[in-house]
Amino acid sequence: MKIIVTGGAGFIGSAVIRHVIRNTDNSVVNLDKLTYAGNLESLSEVVGSERYAFEKVDICDHAEVARVFREHQPDAIMHLAAESHVDRSIDGPAAFIQANIVGTYILLEAARQYWLGLDDLRKAAFRFHHISTDEVYGDLEAPEELFTETTPYAPSSPYSASKASSDHLVRAWRRTYGLPTLVTNCSNNYGPYHFPEKLIPLIILNALEGKPLPVYGSGSQVRDWLYVEDHARALYRVLTEGKVGETYNIGGHNEKQNIEVVRTLCELLDELCPDSPHRPHALLITHVQDRPGHDLRYAIDASKIQRELGWEPEETFESGIRKTVEWYLRNLEWCRRVQDGSYQRERLGSPI
């Protein structure tokens, strides 16, 4: 099978590509615009594989997207390309509307035209897998509540609203045109190669430098944390075994308040960096003004994917967060290149 992965140079996309190349015989075409969050250094282990190809393409460029379909003749699409940082969506929503809504529309249309031209066997086997977020559901009030696949949409930010829109488009293309689609909505991901503006890598790197560790408001916001490699396994399972037209929620079964996550990181850094002049790192925690419209609690009911497809996370929060901190400590040069922008000046791989 040949799979196009959009946004394959991003955090989750690169994990998906590494999983496919490591653990299957399939081929991958990485279609990525290489915005600030796209980093081909996250794919250094696969660039030499004959089953990996890279196309520097914007999903909003219909002609180029159509060319990639025509030249590579994929059997499936895993659509992860998206603007995804909530704070950035508040400061500048236009880029999120363009990439997440218009880009998804253009990709759907290119996929539909390509799919219509396939022979009956390949047409029946084709899949369009759209990867989304639990943020489309808004937030939860009661402590026993969980997001299910039928929870009504109530997005709170420009980012989550744009992702909700893209979800609706994908389902409409299934209903109206018969395009064989699948949708997944995941909880907060963490793990290796996460862009340093996100909470966990930001806290790790700030702590190592003795900088303030910013926590929005009281830090009581609750998130369900999912190790990115567990997520990659789940996505591949849905692509290959999921039922067309279905939605699957993917969660880590690890609800934690943001302040709990930050304190856990500080404790791990105290243990793993005994010579740090900034110990105890928890003294660096700084509470800052809360984000506008900040959702209080997300929590995923992932029983459907476990029941129907046999997937469940392998990592607990304790095991996954330790692996994550250890990875960052081993890969400070990767972090430095992201922070100083040199990763954008020296791209690995070349378009084909």
Q: Where are the domains of the chain?
A: 2-193+225-254+296-315
Q: What pLDDT score was predicted for residue 331?
A: 95
Question: Helix H segments across the chain?
Answer: 11-23, 62-72, 86-91, 94-96, 103-116, 120-125, 158-177, 199-209, 228-241, 258-272, 303-309, 317-330, 332-340, 342-345
Please give the angle made by the CA atoms of 150, 152 and 153, to the nearest 5 degrees.
Answer: 120
pLDDT above 90 for 258: yes
Least confident range from 148-157, 190-199, 289-298: namely 289-298
Q: How far apart are CA 308 and CA 120, in angstroms?
A: 27
> Tell me: the pLDDT tens digits for 141-180?
877 899 999 999 999 999 999 999 999 999 999 999 999 9
Exactly one of 159, 193, 248, 343 is catalytic; which is it?
159
Q: What pLDDT score was predicted for residue 346?
A: 53
Active site residue 159: yes
Superfamily of domain 2-193+225-254+296-315 in the CATH hierarchy: NAD(P)-binding Rossmann-like Domain (3.40.50.720)
Residue in 21, 19, 23, 67 with CA at minimum distance from that of residue 46: 21
% of the chain beyond a pLDDT of 90: 84
Exactly one of 134, 167, 224, 255 is catalytic; which is it?
134
Q: How far apart are CA 268 and CA 159, in angstroms?
A: 31
Please give the angle made by the CA atoms of 82, 117 and 104, to the nearest 5 degrees.
Answer: 15
Determine which helix (DSSP H) or strand (DSSP E) holds 223, and give its type and residue range.
Answer: strand 222-227
Under the banding of pLDDT at 50, 70 and 90, the label for residue 113 is very high
Q: What pLDDT score was predicted for residue 341?
A: 80
Neighbours of 290 (CB within 10 A): 13
Q: How far apart are CA 282 and CA 270, in angstroms?
A: 9
Under the banding of pLDDT at 50, 70 and 90, the label for residue 352 is very low
Q: How far apart are CA 252 and CA 319, in angstroms?
A: 12
Under the phi-then-psi rule, with left for phi > 0, alpha for psi from -120 to 50, and beta for the rest, what region is 191?
Answer: left
Exactly one of 32, 55, 83, 135 is catalytic; which is it?
135
Q: How far is CA 251 from the centre of its chain?
A: 12
